[in-house]
């Protein structure tokens, strides 16, 4: 028996029955999971949350799977690190980094896929597929392995080595495609239809958002139920942003927080910034971004399926959308690592660069309480960071790498 009351289309509002395997609405809109919050409000109080486990499952009453279906590797309840030294350097007095890099498989994708795979287990789905160039693939492969579910992943041939290797190690079937992520998506759908695979692509089913929304619950709980003034989120498909926005709504309906919202800042890469363009042009949806390129693989999404939901959250919060260059990302990543000891994915590092811009423009002030989401670990990006720290071949003497040949 599902804890949800129904599924609701985010585009046309149509209602579907809960507890079923669902893809997109017939109109093409992503589905959202709805609960009887009035009932939950009387049975589960804010002060009781801390009795739950030190993982995202401490919010289990607001997550769809039944307790016995949960497939967990300990995802969520990540540290909210007070970044005093970085804050002092940038001129932000109350700065935190929510470090999602410590999740299983090294990124916040673990949250979404723990929830989605748990629902697959509950609904008896045995074979799943996904197109991904990066961390979503690794997380899918890990949770599918833990659940004994067959995972079929379609990856562009130039996907980072770390993501390819982890998928193989987790026993997923990986097809390397000589093409773009959109080609991978098409192949996954075509092969999947013939083979009966369930499509776990971004926003193609309603349960990944539910896992990711726990980032919103956690930031509230960790700040003693007082949301910050601004949240910086590196936005690719925007699932984390959509999820957090939904979490704030649910918490308000439960009486856990008031109606004040943080300014939601969508951070993108200069080489792929469809949300920034739509925001600046005052459009409700994004246009496809041609020739998308950035070292931040998680931000290489030319046309997010849930673009209108991301833009609603950004506008509804009087937030902003900001693009930063790959150079700025890597430079900020090195700054964050060397000043705070947090080695961030370029996506997470992009938030530091974006913060600098919004402090400089006066959009944010020194006294604002600010949370940056570091969505992944820098350890998964050796190719990107190698460009900052080139090494010469072993045996060669060179000042750059500081290599010394023993006599």
Ligand X SMILES: *Cc1c(COP(=O)(O)O)cnc(C)c1O
Residue 111 interacting with ligand X (CB under 6 A): no
**What does the block give as tokens for 51?**
């009795």
Among 29, 65, 192, 234, binds ligand X (CB under 6 A): 234
261 binds ligand X (CB under 6 A): no
Structure tokens at 159: 């996907």
Residue with tokens 């003693």: 224
Closest CB 407 distance from ligand X, rounded Å: 44
CA angle 175–176–179, rounded 5-degree value: 125
Of 241 and 335, CB closest to ligand X:
241
Instruction: Report the distance separating Cα 144 and Cα 197, nearest Å.
Output: 13
Question: Binding marks (x or -) toward ligand X, 280..309, rule CB under 6 A?
Answer: ------------------x-----------
Stretch that binds ligand X, among 5-13, 173-181, 229-237, 280-288 (CB under 6 A): 229-237
Helices (H), 53-134: 84-90, 109-123
Q: In angstroms, what is the minimal distance from the CB of 404 to ligand X? A: 35
- Break the chain down into helix, strand, coil percent, rounded to 5: 45, 15, 40
375 scored as a contact of ligand X (CB under 6 A): yes
Asked whether position 135 contacts ligand X by CB under 6 A, the answer is yes
Among 4, 184, 200, 239, binds ligand X (CB under 6 A): 239
The reply to whether 342 sits near ligand X by the rule CB under 6 A is no
Per CB under 6 A, 131 contacts ligand X: no
CA distance 245 to 317: 9
364/368 Cα distance (integer angstroms): 7
Alpha-carbon torsion (189, 153, 203, 352), positive or negative: negative
> Does position 109 bind ligand X by CB under 6 A?
yes
Of 63 and 162, nearer to ligand X (C-beta) is 162
Q: Which stretch binds ligand X (CB under 6 A): 2-10, 116-124, 235-243, 278-286?
A: 235-243
Alpha helices in 67-108 (DSSP H): 84-90
Beta-carbon contacts of 88 under 8 Å, excluding residues fewer than 6 positions away, are none
Which window, 117-125, 234-242, 274-282, 317-325, contacts ligand X (CB under 6 A)? 234-242
- 134 counts as binding ligand X under rule CB under 6 A: yes
Per CB under 6 A, does 64 bind ligand X? no
Stretch that binds ligand X, among 59-67, 128-136, 385-393, 395-403 (CB under 6 A): 128-136
- For ligand X, the closer of residues 139 and 254 by Cβ is 139
332 binds ligand X (CB under 6 A): no
Torsion of CA 300, 304, 306, 311, to 10 degrees: 80
CA distance 302 to 287: 8
Between CA 205 and CA 75 the distance in angstroms is 20
- 345 contacts ligand X (rule: CB under 6 A): yes
Is residue 238 at the binding interface for ligand X, with CB under 6 A as the rule? yes
Which of 24, 376, 378, 385 forms a contact with ligand X (CB under 6 A)? 376
Q: What is the token pair recorded at 262?
A: 């943080």
Residue nearest to ligand X (CB): 298
Question: 70 Cβ partners below 8 Å, 6+ apart?
Answer: 57, 60, 114, 118
User: Which residues, 6+ apart, have CB-to-CB distance to 45 below 8 Å?
Assistant: none
> Which region among 2-10, 80-88, 132-140, 390-398 touches ligand X (by CB under 6 A)?
132-140
Chain centroid, CA 367 distance in Å = 27
Binding mask 199-228 for ligand X (x = CB under 6 A): ---x--------------------------
| Residues of this chain that bind ligand X (CB under 6 A) | 107, 109, 134-136, 202, 234-240, 298, 345, 347, 375-376
């Amino acid at each position: 028996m599902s804890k949800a009351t129904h599924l609701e289309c985010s585009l046309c509002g149509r209602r579907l029955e809960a507890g079923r395997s669902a893809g997109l609405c017939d109109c093409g809109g992503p589905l959202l999971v709805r609960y009887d919050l009035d009932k939950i409000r009387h049975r589960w109080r804010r002060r009781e949350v801390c009795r739950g486990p030190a993982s995202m499952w401490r919010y289990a009453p607001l997550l769809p799977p039944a307790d016995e279906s949960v497939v967990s590797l300990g995802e969520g309840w990540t540290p909210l690190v007070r970044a005093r030294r970085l804050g002092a350097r940038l001129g932000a007095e109350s700065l935190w980094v929510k470090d999602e890099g410590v999740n299983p498989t090294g990124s916040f994708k673990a949250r979404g896929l723990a929830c989605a795979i748990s629902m697959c287990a509950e609904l008896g789905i045995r074979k799943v597929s996904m197109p991904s160039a990066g961390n979503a693939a690794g997380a899918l492969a890990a949770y599918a392995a833990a659940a004994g579910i067959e995972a079929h992943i379609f990856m562009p041939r130039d996907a980072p080595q770390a993501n390819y290797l982890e998928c193989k190690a987790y026993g997923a079937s990986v097809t390397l495609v000589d093409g773009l992520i959109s080609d991978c998506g098409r192949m996954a759908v075509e092969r999947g239809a013939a083979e009966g695979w369930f499509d776990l692509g971004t926003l193609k089913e309603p349960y990944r958002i539910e896992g990711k929304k726990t980032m919103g619950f956690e930031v509230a709980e960790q700040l003693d139920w007082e949301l910050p003034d601004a949240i910086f989120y590196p936005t690719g498909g925007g699932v984390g942003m959509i999820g957090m926005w939904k979490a704030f709504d649910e918490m308000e309906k439960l009486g856990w927080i008031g109606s004040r919202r943080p300014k939601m800042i969508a951070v993108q890469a200069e080489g792929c910034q469809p949300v920034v363009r739509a925001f600046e042009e005052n459009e409700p949806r994004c246009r496809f971004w041609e020739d998308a390129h950035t070292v931040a693989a998680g931000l290489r999404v030319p046309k997010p399926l849930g673009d209108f939901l991301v833009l609603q959250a950004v506008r509804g919060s009087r937030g902003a959308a900001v693009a930063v260059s790959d150079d700025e990302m890597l430079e900020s990543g090195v700054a964050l690592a060397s000043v705070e000891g947090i080695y961030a994915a370029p996506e997470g590092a992009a938030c530091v660069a974006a913060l600098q811009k919004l402090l400089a423009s006066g959009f944010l002030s020194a006294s604002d309480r600010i949370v940056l989401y570091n969505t992944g670990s820098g350890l998964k990006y050796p190719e990107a960071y190698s460009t900052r720290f080139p090494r010469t071949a072993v045996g060669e003497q060179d000042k750059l790498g500081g290599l010394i040949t023993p006599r």
